[in-house]
Structure 1
Amino acid sequence: MADSKVNDILLFMSVAKTGNFTTAGRAFGLSRSTAGKAVARLENRYGARLLNRTTRAVSLTEAGQRLYAQGEAIQAAIAEADAQMDVADGTPKGTLRIAAPDALGRRMVLPVVKKFQTVWPDVRFEISFSDSVSRIVEDGFDLAIRVGVTTPDASLISRTLIMEKIVLCASPEYFTGRDVPQNIDQLSTHDLLQFSSVAKRQVWSLQDASSFLGNVSGRVSLRLDSAEGLREAALAGMGIALLPATLVKDELRAERLVQVLPNIDCGEVPIVAIYPHKRFLEPRVRRFIDALVADFSPCGANV
């Protein structure tokens, strides 16, 4: 029957994704033996081996890769049907999978999640805190929050949540025995802490009182792929960091960090929500994006 065939394909995809028959079966509330029989039925049906099996690993054959691709289309169709039903009902529910930078996610996104769930208790969240830019669609995320990313590919939609001011900062201890820089050029004699990832290396472009915009050339003593890591390094007195004001406002207020070159315009970066382009956007996604916009706004409106 068609429905059992679909179930077999979904089980096969789970085996391929997890690389383990036991884990794949458990995800469906089934045994390892049942998962193995599902794959065997498909191989008999199509007359082709779908998986290469060894004692240590499971991998897709060429035929398996083709079936897996078709299975993704089936999953997308099921998700689209669910989305249409959710849209018809209009009530946010189900699981919302979000990817967000570590520091910003903990400080700005989690409070919104807490308030959101008090209003919409039927929404569950799965959140990945990472500063790496995830493959949103391929990794199954409904929504990603990113800093400075404004041009996603054609399959994605970007919505700016807020333009965030960025500031230069360092710990008071860092300046023990060092001169505090009085202009942009003097930064070249200091230890700089910069963000760096596989896809992007941070470049500091600062604007002085004459409105001259220039890139800072200094000795970069440390590069990290985590804004939270840069904040911790600055607090430890390891150098000067350029970070979104939201991430360091408490430390600046408590004077654990001091603002460097406060009269220099360090610019702004957009904090954006990125989500897959869909004809029907699930209420849980749409409502949560609206909640982020409201909470990130200067007035900090409620959900």
Structure 2
Amino acid sequence: MPRTNLNDILIFMAVVDAGSFIAGGQAMGLSRSAAGKAVIRLEERLGARLLNRTTRTLGLTDEGRVFYERGLQILASVDEAEASVGGQSGMPRGVLRLTLPDAFGRLVILPLLEKYLRTWPDIQVEMSFTDRLADIIEEGFDLAIRIGAAASDSRLASRVIATYRTRLFASPSYLAARGEPRDIDDLAAHDCLIFTSRNQRQGWRFRGKGSSWIKAQGRSRLRLDSGEAIRDAARAGLGIALLPDFLIAGDLAAGHLRQVLPELEADDTKIVTLYPDKRLLEPRIHRFIDLLVEALGQERSGARSSP
């Protein structure tokens, strides 16, 4: 059976990325008609429809989605092969695909992209803002940024890029209505806003005497899977929240939130990058991690490996 024309695969992927035959064709230096014919050839060769076409929209079929994801893996392998020849000092190019927490991504990471894109003009970036823990390899991401999560998957490497203080906060209205807790035991009588994801709840613990850790026994009537939503709930007077500095700086200065039990020392919030564990890391990933470390602080100990 003759091999599929690889250029047809690239045209198909360009059409999907652009969302239309016109833009996808232009990205490949082709007309709309030529791009359409290339996709039709590919579908006929595979014996499956890859795209659902209407006069207004263009969408992937289930078969098309699987084929597109495999195409991403092929392109990643090509990039890795080039990196193995050119070394990590090679010129970054291609598409950097990121998954990152919603609030941290928009507040901290998004402002850093201007420098990255300006420095490396051959780079494109696709970002997925979500507090859901995506499967990096299965979903085709180059890099994930996680809050407080090291690599538990043997296929992944990790690197700590920043550390933020984490403290308890509540709104003045909540404290006026419910009273201010005097010690850690008083949290049991308060509504605590807890982060939860995939049925796993965040535990609150604080350093006690002799550097031992004490778990707080707070009541939780409202649980959320978004750090920004927890902050907003605290601002609305719905309870006490355990939040990192980067998320509350503006609210603290404006008086929307007040620190609670400032003498309690909580775990620091570590910001971690996770990426497929490879002998050589593609320049686009390597340079982006370098930028994060430079902008957000020194790398801390405990990372499994560094690029």
Q: TM-score, normalised by structure 1?
A: 0.79
Q: How does 1:1-16 map to 2 (within 5 A)?
A: 4-7=4-7
Per the alignment, residue 81 of structure 1 pairs with: 81
Q: Counterpart amino acid of 2:269?
A: V
Contact 1:25–1:34, Cα closer than 8 Å, also in 2: no
Deviation at 1:82, TM superposition (A): 4.2
Per the alignment, residue 220 of structure 1 pairs with: 220
Q: Counterpart amino acid of 1:203?
A: G
- Partner deviation per Cα, 1:9-64 (whole Å, 9 max, x = no partner): 6678899x99xxxx696785355554233232244xxxxxx56999999445xxx9
Q: Percent identity?
A: 41
Q: Counterpart amino acid of 1:132?
A: R
Per the alignment, residue 179 of structure 1 pairs with: 179
CA gap of 1:24–1:41, structure 2 versus 1, over 3 A, is: farther
Of 33, 38, 44, 1:40 maps to: 44
Contact 1:152–1:274, Cα closer than 8 Å, also in 2: no
Deviates most, 185-194 or 207-216: 207-216
Deviation at 1:233, TM superposition (A): 0.9
Q: How does 1:171-250 map to 2 (within 5 A)?
A: 171-198=171-198, 200-209=200-209, 211-250=211-250
Q: How does 1:1-303 map to 2 (within 5 A)?
A: 4-7=4-7, 29=25, 30-32=34-36, 34-43=38-47, 58-60=61-63, 74-84=74-84, 87=87, 90-198=90-198, 200-209=200-209, 211-297=211-297
CA gap of 1:143–1:34, structure 2 versus 1, over 3 A, is: same
Aligned residues between the structures: 286
CA gap of 1:218–1:34, structure 2 versus 1, over 3 A, is: same
Contact 1:86–1:282, Cα closer than 8 Å, also in 2: no
- Partner deviation per Cα, 1:73-107 (whole Å, 9 max, x = no partner): 64443232343466476223332221111111112
Deviation at 1:261, TM superposition (A): 0.6
Q: Counterpart amino acid of 1:161?
A: I
- Partner deviation per Cα, 1:233-281 (whole Å, 9 max, x = no partner): 1111111111112211222233221111100011212210111122331
SS state at 1:289 partner: helix
CA gap of 1:83–1:28, structure 2 versus 1, over 3 A, is: farther
Deviation at 1:71, TM superposition (A): 6.1
CA gap of 1:243–1:86, structure 2 versus 1, over 3 A, is: farther
Per the alignment, residue 46 of structure 1 pairs with: none
Deviates most, 181-190 or 76-85: 76-85
- Partner deviation per Cα, 1:92-127 (whole Å, 9 max, x = no partner): 333222111111111211222123333333333221
Deviation at 1:171, TM superposition (A): 0.8
Q: TM-score, normalised by structure 2?
A: 0.78
Residue ranges of structure 2 left out of the alignment (5+ in a row): 26-33, 54-58, 299-307
- CA RMSD after TM alignment: 3.6
SS state at 1:176 partner: helix
Distance 1:279 1:152 in 2: 19
- Partner deviation per Cα, 1:187-235 (whole Å, 9 max, x = no partner): 0111111111116321111223564422222221211111111111111
Distance 1:104 1:58 in 2: 33
Contact 2:88–2:280, Cα closer than 8 Å, also in 1: no
SS state at 2:201 partner: coil
Contact 2:43–2:50, Cα closer than 8 Å, also in 1: no
Distance 1:116 1:14 in 2: 23
Distance 2:289 2:51 in 1: 43
CA gap of 1:93–1:38, structure 2 versus 1, over 3 A, is: closer
Contact 2:167–2:259, Cα closer than 8 Å, also in 1: yes
Distance 2:50 2:294 in 1: 50
Distance 2:89 2:218 in 1: 56
Q: Counterpart amino acid of 2:95?
A: T
